[in-house]
Amino acid sequence: MLMARNLIDLKKMQHSAGEAVKLLKALTHPDRMLLLCQISKGERCVGELENLLNIHQPMLSQHLGALKRAKLVKTRRVGKNIYYAVANDFAMSIIDQLYRHYCLKNMLI
């Protein structure tokens, strides 16, 4: 009986592993990490992101599109401006940990 409690549902585990891999793939580019760090601090429009991070079109649009497809960010349009905001709190908790470990540590030098 004890043995049955420890069994893992392979289908659920495979699905979860696939979801984790999608998230990690979306995070594997330095520019996407920078974008997520900026967006995690508050909603930003495309022009702001371009100026803050010095990432220019069309690369900026490609990275933002990848983050949107991965459901890490959501958009809101106001006139001609598109604003990006956090759409996945779990992913942002990972970004927060990476920020604390890599960014804050290097800023204190």
In the three-class reduction of DSSP (H, G, I as helix; E, B as strand; rest coil), residue 1 is classed as coil
Instruction: State the distance between the two ends of the chain, measured CA to CA, in whole angstroms.
Output: 55
Task: Indicate the residue type of 31.
Answer: D
Domains with residue ranges and CATH for the chain: 30-107 (1.10.10.10)
Mean pLDDT by 10 residues, the chain (109 residues): 64 89 90 91 94 94 94 94 93 86 69
Confidence at residue 1, expressed as pLDDT on a 0 to 100 scale: 45
With 0-12 / 13-18 / 19 or more C-beta atoms within 10 angstroms meaning exposed / middle / buried, residue 17 is exposed
Which are the contacts of 66, defined by CB distance < 8 A and separation ≥ 6?
26, 29, 32
Q: How far apart are CA 61 and CA 54, in angstroms?
A: 13
Query: What are the counts of helices (DSSP H) followed by strands (DSSP E) for the chain?
Result: 7, 3
For residues 64 and 84, the answer to whether their CB atoms sit within 8 Å is yes
Confidence at residue 9, expressed as pLDDT on a 0 to 100 scale: 86
- E strand or H helix at 82: strand 81-86
